[in-house]
Structure 1
Amino acid sequence: MYQLSFAFDAFLAQYWQKKPTIIKGGFQNFVDPISPDELAGLAMEEEVDSRYIARQGGNWDVQHGPLSFDNMPEDNWSFTVQAANHWHEGAARLVAPFRQMPGWLFDDLMISYSTPGGGVGPHIDQYDVFIVQGSGKRRWRVGPKKENYEEEFRHPSLRHIKDFDPIIDEILEPGDILYIPPGFPHDGYAIETAMSFSVGFRSPKKQELLSSFADFVIANEIGDVHYHNPDLPARKNYGAILDSEYCDLENMMRSLLDHPELLKQWMGEHLSANRHELDIITAEPPWQISETYQFLEEGETIHRLGGLRAFYYPEYPHILYINGERFELPPECSNAATYLCDQDTISRDSLGKQLDHPAFMALLTQLINLGYWYPAD
């Protein structure tokens, strides 16, 4: 089990979304949770999001997966696998120490393999990332945050910026962690063959929230009401939009937000939806509730699918939002949120009396049949 060597609350107070930093020995005695061959195997799969990046002098080559690894150059190349925690249980364990952060902010674990000189070039990201150095060594440079960095178009798939004066310039060794907040330019390249593990946190944009809420309003036929004004005044200026009319239309729009329960439902569904593909295998044949009960009674364990997003509001712990859907249980099933959203495994010992509640067992069986939970090997 991976364990951080520093106090997370102190880190948040000093660095989170404030300034980049390197934590030497953030993981003691760090061992890669996945081998290069296993990572390459994932990159060759159709449903896995992978990318190959190579540099020859001033020229860059980018290929999107599925990848093949025939006739590879000797150095100056790397490949990445996005959402590796969805596909590899060992890699997913590296995310666990970061669960002191809100789950709805977590995006994915990206893993990169680089030959000497391999990297993606100087760029800026708009998310928070903890880059854990695995095997090998990598040099990282991070610049100050400012508005006027000039872009360089070296390849259509890469958004490079021109070089910057670094405020961090260090070599990372196994177990070191580089934290970079949004907006800080950075550039890393391998000094020797190396693995890097990037734990990314991505906050939603205003545009995303507005677009998603609009889709929710339309799908649920909320506010399907026309503007109505029985006191409409006559006017001489045909093209004018009177201030009172503007205010009425504005209030129509704002009134869509005057439904706190609907807003919570939309937000729960929106935040639990996944941006990345999941390794879902539905149960065939479907389980019966009696089978789920017997499986747990025999002391077996059920695991949550890697990367599955499952959230709840503490004031309504019997209402769950899982993979973009809302599931409601009777209020007496309030412990369901702990089992299904806060934990990765379910067993007879952890469930206690909840094992005997028909509604909870029916939902758990439904989630198993959807492929969201699965029996441990």
Structure 2
Amino acid sequence: MQNLQFPEGISAQQFLAEYWQRKPLLLHNPLPGFECGLEADELAGMACDENIESRLVLEKDGATPWEARYGPFDEAIFADLPESHWTLLVQDVDKHLPEIAGLLDYFHFIPDWRLDDVMVSYATDQGSVGPHIDDYDVFLYQTKGRRRWKIHTRDVSEEEFIPDLELRILPEFEAEQEWLLEPGDMLYLPPNVAHWGIAEGECMTCSVGFRAPSMHEMATAWFEAALDDRMPPQRYRDPPLKPQTAPGEILPSSLDEFKALLEECLHRGRQNDRWFGRFVTEAKEHLQIYPRTKPLNEKAFHNRFREQAVIHRHHYARMAFSRNEHDGYDTLYVNGQDYTLPSDTGDFLPVLSHYRVLHFGYLQEWLEQPVYLSLLCRLYNDGHLQFGDDTE
């Protein structure tokens, strides 16, 4: 297992206790053995793919000093760009390039379900996306060239951003700290720390971002799950009524009856927490996985796995699991779906959710048990696992 190398005197435990979501940290050479290998031309090619999210940010003179353009791009556009002051950003590069996905292996000290993606940015000299704020944690890894980062930790309100821009850019920025990152350096920034990264010459940066759903998104997901899975079909019923002198009045007794129904909904919702696993593993709309048109039965899958020797997790698949001993089942979550197993699964779910490549020999004892063979076969037929020579 790869481990992020923290500065001397700081352990992963200390980082989480003192820095995570609290204060920035500069790390020199924290990824021993990692090689990015991605070139600017390859990143530009990805930005031309209609299935990959990308954007260009240009800094200009005039009344609108910042402009954002969204991909997919025609490759001819790159020949017409100026020599400086622009940045290309490509999201979810880890979903498309295995070597970039390997970067995530250094962050297993944070729950996998918190990870979002690796965004890669290429900037010409003085290129940036402006001084701004993100609502999530991010590790900024400098892979090529140099970038100067400036930050401040003062509170910023929505009213302070430049109006009528698609980007949340601050018009004024007075730095409290700044660092010049060389290749191999990394900067950790907590949520809501204003930052401004400016390229000094051409450079490339990998941004490891973490999911931070809003309270509105979480509440919506909870209530949707409650409505789909647990809400009784009953309708509102009146408390004992008496003739009202003012029929337009909403009486406290009616409001109390409605609150009692909502409290019953909340009580039912607490009885099943699987909604959370489905919610945090949901894939983005353009990163969906679809079931196979020609599914295998369990015997055929077992034989195929033995012949292939290894099976790969689909590069779009997000996996997590939970143990729920109170109801006798453990649950695996993959891209918003849940799969239950008896609660005596031991190391099976930790292994399955941790490794992107699974070996037949390592799983052989589990494959001899119908419950595990059935689950792996279902994951394959649902598209979450795949063999190296699969064509669909």
Q: Are 2:340 and 1:328 aligned?
A: yes
Cα drift, residue 28 of structure 1: 4.0
Match of 1:35 among 33, 36, 39: 39
Equivalent pair of 2:125/2:201 in contact (CA under 8 Å): yes
Partner of 2:381: 369
Deviates more, 1:336-345 or 1:134-143: 336-345
Q: Are 2:48 and 1:48 aligned?
A: no
Q: Are 2:125 and 1:116 aligned?
A: yes
Using structure 1 for the length normalisation, give the TM-score. Answer: 0.90
Partner of 1:172: 181
Partner of 1:69: 75
Partner of 1:91: 100
Distance 1:269 1:38 in 2: 34
Partner of 2:4: 4
Partner of 2:66: 60
- Shift of the 20–247 alpha-carbon distance from structure 1 to 2, 3 Å rule, reads farther
Deviates more, 1:331-340 or 1:168-177: 331-340
| 1:232-243 equivalences in 2 (<5 Å) | 232-243=241-252
Equivalent pair of 2:231/2:268 in contact (CA under 8 Å): no
Distance 2:58 2:330 in 1: 50
Partner of 2:301: 292
Distance 2:39 2:300 in 1: 36
The one-letter amino acid of 2:160's match is E
In the alignment of these two chains, the number of paired residues is 376
Distance 1:198 1:276 in 2: 21
Partner of 1:141: 150
Cα drift, residue 147 of structure 1: 3.8
Deviates more, 1:75-84 or 1:59-68: 59-68
Deviations 1:52-101 (A, max 9, x none): 11122343332111123322221211111111111111111001111211
Deviates more, 1:189-198 or 1:350-359: 350-359
What value does the CA root-mean-square deviation take over the aligned residues? Answer: 2.5
- Shift of the 332–314 alpha-carbon distance from structure 1 to 2, 3 Å rule, reads closer
Deviations 1:262-298 (A, max 9, x none): 5412222212211353274765643342333224334
Equivalent pair of 1:283/1:369 in contact (CA under 8 Å): yes
Equivalent pair of 2:308/2:387 in contact (CA under 8 Å): no
Q: Secondary structure at the match of 1:45?
A: coil
Equivalent pair of 1:143/1:166 in contact (CA under 8 Å): yes
The one-letter amino acid of 1:54's match is L
Partner of 1:24: 28
Using structure 2 for the length normalisation, give the TM-score. Answer: 0.87
| 1:157-306 equivalences in 2 (<5 Å) | 157-220=166-229, 222-259=231-268, 263-275=272-284, 277-278=286-287, 280=289, 283=292, 285-298=294-307, 300-306=309-315
Q: Secondary structure at the match of 2:330?
A: strand
The one-letter amino acid of 2:335's match is N
Gaps of 5+ in 1: none
- Shift of the 72–162 alpha-carbon distance from structure 1 to 2, 3 Å rule, reads closer
Q: Secondary structure at the match of 1:359?
A: helix
Match of 1:152 among 151, 156, 162: 162
Q: Secondary structure at the match of 1:193?
A: strand
Equivalent pair of 1:137/1:194 in contact (CA under 8 Å): yes
Distance 2:81 2:259 in 1: 59
Gaps of 5+ in 2: none
Equivalent pair of 1:268/1:321 in contact (CA under 8 Å): yes
Q: Secondary structure at the match of 2:366?
A: helix
